[in-house]
A and B are shown apart, each in its own frame.
Chain A
Amino acid sequence: MRYIPNAENDWESMLQTMGYERLEDLMTILPEPLRMKKALELPQPLSEMELVQHLRSLSEPGPQGKRVLSFLGAGAYDHFIPAVVDHVLRRSEFYTAYTPYQPEISQGTLQATFEFQTLICQLTGMDVANASLYDGASAVAEGVLMAHRLKGRKKCLLSRSVHPESRMVTRTYSHPLNLQLGEISYTSTGTTDLEDLQRQLDEEMNAVVIQQPNFFGCLEDVEEAAKMVHARGALLIVAVTEPLSMALLQPPGLLGADIVVGEGQSFGNPLNFGGPYVGFFATKEGFLRSMPGRLVGQTVDRQGRRGFVLAVATREQHIRREKATSNICTNQALCALAVLVYLSLMGKQGLKELAEINLSKCEYAKKKLSGVGRLRFSAPTFNEFVLTLNRDASSVLQILLKEGIVGGLSLKRFYPEMEREILVCVTEKHAKEDIDRLAEILNESSVRKQGIQEPGR
């Protein structure tokens, strides 16, 4: 049978050692009334060939079977992944290993994690980073919980320009601990309303969360926000969903952030229909003992050889149990490895150049599309922006889809006040012709009236 080496010849002698006759006799370990009398109702097993055929047909996108041209971003970014990344991930010593609890035979995972932690510190401008969390959204939630542990006050503020899913996850985590969460509005230019922040800040705040670049693709004034927040003795948490931006932007750690969290998917991890992704979490030296997640530390063995081990584990669930800093057990090791390999390949020069390409493509798209729609926000952006169309966004997106284009994300689902707005993302994978085509179809659709079919389509 599939993946089960032992067969009948093997069982016989093994069963005899224990006084059983048949394999099914092992069921007697279970109380009689609980033993299943009939088989599970599952599909008949497929051979490998049939399995591949079935999954292939499920994976083909759309009824046409051809790939769509997508301008979706919003927390998940379509960057090119060099071949080396997957080749490394496919080394079975990496992917079939467990959490490195026995360091002597897991130095590969441990050193790679140490390197990952270092890179996150370098990128974010912070002192210490953990081995990764599940994703960017839960990293924001963990940041808020940590601020609560450190400050012991009652409230946190999150800007409305932080990714809606991050805010939703934070609410889910905060609710049972009776943490109050408030919202800061956004300005007409597309950034966090710092006046609103100032008004709401008081001594009851643990932390304030902003995102850089924010959900609308706009750049925030992290330094200014940090000053305001610190004046009230609260912590500033900055979330970064597109870390490629940090190749060009001063990192939040150097602008006053106390905790920097984010989503590492952009680096070496495919879109994968939403997961697995990889959250990163970095903070200052002084907050180390309150950090959630795994940490790998450097040490020496008995012969003075350098090695790496899991460190400061007394914060974690397997020791502190209900007093743990979090309940997290796994990190997202293989995804963090992908980040590490990707960043190693790109290096400091490549990452900067790639970020410039993304910026350039997006600026071109903004110019081209501002002729068809209106740029909603005037604040500077990185690789995504909000476009206001001349009518309801969903109907326009429908038209685009028929042309094999996913033009962007309709924002109405997250911001009811934005019925005509779409969030458009451009990366290095979009050619000039792709952007031109988007503009062209959008232009045509704005001329077309709703519901009237063009002849010949």
Chain B
Amino acid sequence: MKEEWPGECGLVLNEPLIFERSARGRKGYSLPKLDVERAEAEKIWPRKWIRKDLEGLPELSEVEIVRHFTRLSQWNYGVDSGFYPLGSCTMKYNPKVNEDLARLPGFAGAHPYQPEEIAQGALQLMDDLERFLCEISGMDRATLQPSAGAQGELTGMLMIRAYLSDRGDPRRKVLVPDTAHGTNPASSGLCGYQVVQVKSNERGVLSAQAIEEKMDEDVAALMVTNPNTLGLFEENICQIAEIVHGKGGQVYCDGANLNALLGLTRLGGMGIDVLHFNLHKTFSTPHGGGGPGAGPVGVKGHLADYLPVPIITRKGERFQFDYDRPKTIGKVRSFFGNFAVLVRAYAYILSLGAAGLKRASLVALLNANYIRSKLKDHYHLPYDLPCMHECVFSDRLQGKYGVTALDIAKRLMDYGFHPPTIYFPLVVHGALMIEPTESEPKETLDQFIEAMVRIAREAESEPGLLRDAPHKTKVSRLDEVLANRKPVLRWKPPTAREP
């Protein structure tokens, strides 16, 4: 392997579990002196309610804690480490100024129940963000409440359900394409719907005919992702929406792939009635290792009555929370949503403006198609069509050497790249979903392409190398069967005492 690959062996520091580091009597805290009379729980609470001990909480000094977490962080690979082409996740750069802005004391210290008079700035921010998101998507109103895309999906489906029930026509089924993300049917299931799968056609998209066959007056909605999880634009969407509307159904769009469309087209113009946004994807808020994100939901006017409470209204110069919404579906979480995440998305939109957002999508398309055109001679491309912001390959060519998508992914780590999404979407066997995003320099893309080409060659000449990969990481090929057969989900104190 060339010296120039990002992936290199280096000194990695081991670190036990924090409980294993713990030593009696160590302190990492400092507390203010008590300036009032000390109240003793034993004197004012019933004895039997008082906690006997807090065993199992660690006792460490500050420096040990800092080292512990610094070392743990060094075992992680983030967007700031390098290329992270996880398809469907839009791992774009997280602007640093947004981290500072979210931490402004006036925002960070604001209690959700504080009087509206002193929360006007925060309310204005939310109101502005709602309008920006509606403008970007072509929807009429939005809620910023859902904490994640999946929660947004639930919110959207609940609104559809409320809307149809309100018209005395509840219906029982939801159509979901075979390319859909697992949260789609899961969210429908949570709303009490029966999920009916629709197969995509040979071009990897939904056909009007397939929808026509499955659409009837018992179908409440079609859940669609556009572009879909194959990275392809659902070219028949307008006709499909008409068919669904024609039989009284609604069209829900999973907005996870919005990064392909900013300023280029608007989902609201394609017959979409409700959609969710993933601020932690399209709008650059950090993924955090698995959250917090935010999943605002945009709706067309006819669904606005059902939005979760509160909504923000404006009375002259004053912003207010409006809870008086008799048809609301209620609340999907406490308070107003992940406000600190909203701040970051808001700042991002203000930093880019219309031209910047359009440029972001165009370059995302450019980067993805560039990779597609460069890799199609080395990996099987199930749909040889221009893709949008992501492209899907499969491990079929490498399969004849006994190499799988998993092996390819593991070997990529040795080269210093985070692997793409593997084994999703399910419609492609051995899928490799690559989404570069716009925030990658050309050199990085070229290096990634070169690494993938190398790996394709290694699959042929030294498949064992791939099957045993990764070789340079702290751990390699963890035993997931063991983890699942005998789940160990917590550390236990050595003497099995009660906590």
Chain A residues within 8 Å of B289, by CB: 94-95, 97-100, 106, 108-109, 112, 333-334, 337
CB of B405 within 8 A of chain A? no
A408→B335 CA distance, assembly (Å): 17
CB of B399 within 8 A of chain A? no
Interface string of B196-237 (1 = CB under 8 A from A): 000000000000000000000000000000000000010100
Identity of the chain B residue whose Cβ is nearest the Cβ of A350 in the assembled complex: B29
In this complex, the member of A76, A171, A297, A306 whose beta carbon has the largest number of chain B beta carbons within 10 angstroms is A297
* Contact assessment for A6 and B366 in the assembled complex, using a CB-CB cutoff below 8 Å: yes
Chain B residues within 8 Å of A61, by CB: 106, 110, 114, 118-119, 121
* Contact assessment for A344 and B68 in the assembled complex, using a CB-CB cutoff below 8 Å: yes
| A90-119 residues at the B interface, CB under 8 angstroms | 90-100, 102-109, 111-115, 117-119
* Contact assessment for A92 and B487 in the assembled complex, using a CB-CB cutoff below 8 Å: no
**How far in angstroms is the closest Cβ of chain A from B446?**
10
Interface size on A, residues (CB 8 A): 203
A351→B58 CA distance, assembly (Å): 11
Which of A248, A273, A330, A435 sits near B51, CB closer than 8 Å?
A248
**How far in angstroms is the closest Cβ of chain A from B79?**
4
* Contact assessment for A105 and B73 in the assembled complex, using a CB-CB cutoff below 8 Å: no
* Contact assessment for A4 and B438 in the assembled complex, using a CB-CB cutoff below 8 Å: yes
**How far in angstroms is the closest Cβ of chain B from A436?**
10
A55→B360 CA distance, assembly (Å): 23
* Contact assessment for B48 and A250 in the assembled complex, using a CB-CB cutoff below 8 Å: yes
Identity of the chain A residue whose Cβ is nearest the Cβ of B137 in the assembled complex: A40
| A295-339 residues at the B interface, CB under 8 angstroms | 295-303, 305-309, 311-314, 316-324, 326-335, 337
Interface string of B35-68 (1 = CB under 8 A from A): 1111111001110111111111111101001101
Q: Is the interface of B mostly helix, strand, loop or mixed?
A: loop
A88→B476 CA distance, assembly (Å): 26
Q: Is the interface of A mostly helix, strand, loop or mixed?
A: helix
- Comparing A122-130, A194-202, A385-393, the segment that makes contact with chain B is A122-130
Chain A residues within 8 Å of B94, by CB: 92, 95-96
Identity of the chain A residue whose Cβ is nearest the Cβ of B323 in the assembled complex: A413
CB of A21 within 8 A of chain B? no
- The 8 A-B residue pairs with the shortest CB-CB distance, nearest first, are A274-B335, A45-B353, A59-B106, A274-B112, A96-B78, A276-B292, A334-B288, A172-B330
* Contact assessment for A250 and B50 in the assembled complex, using a CB-CB cutoff below 8 Å: yes
CB of B433 within 8 A of chain A? no
CB of A440 within 8 A of chain B? no
* Contact assessment for B29 and A45 in the assembled complex, using a CB-CB cutoff below 8 Å: no
- Comparing B151-159, B244-252, B297-305, B450-458, the segment that makes contact with chain A is B151-159
**How far in angstroms is the closest Cβ of chain B from A126?**
9
CB of A31 within 8 A of chain B? yes
CB of A361 within 8 A of chain B? yes
CB of A375 within 8 A of chain B? no
CB of A348 within 8 A of chain B? yes
Chain B residues within 8 Å of A417, by CB: none
9 A–B pairs (Cβ distance < 8 Å), ordered by A: A29-B388, A86-B103, A314-B484, A322-B189, A333-B289, A341-B69, A343-B57, A380-B44, A397-B115
CB of A424 within 8 A of chain B? no
**How far in angstroms is the closest Cβ of chain B from A191?**
12
**How far in angstroms is the closest Cβ of chain B from A43?**
6
Interface string of A351-367 (1 = CB under 8 A from B): 11110110111111000
Chain B residues within 8 Å of A343, by CB: 57-58
* Contact assessment for B93 and A3 in the assembled complex, using a CB-CB cutoff below 8 Å: yes
CB of B91 within 8 A of chain A? yes
CB of A441 within 8 A of chain B? no
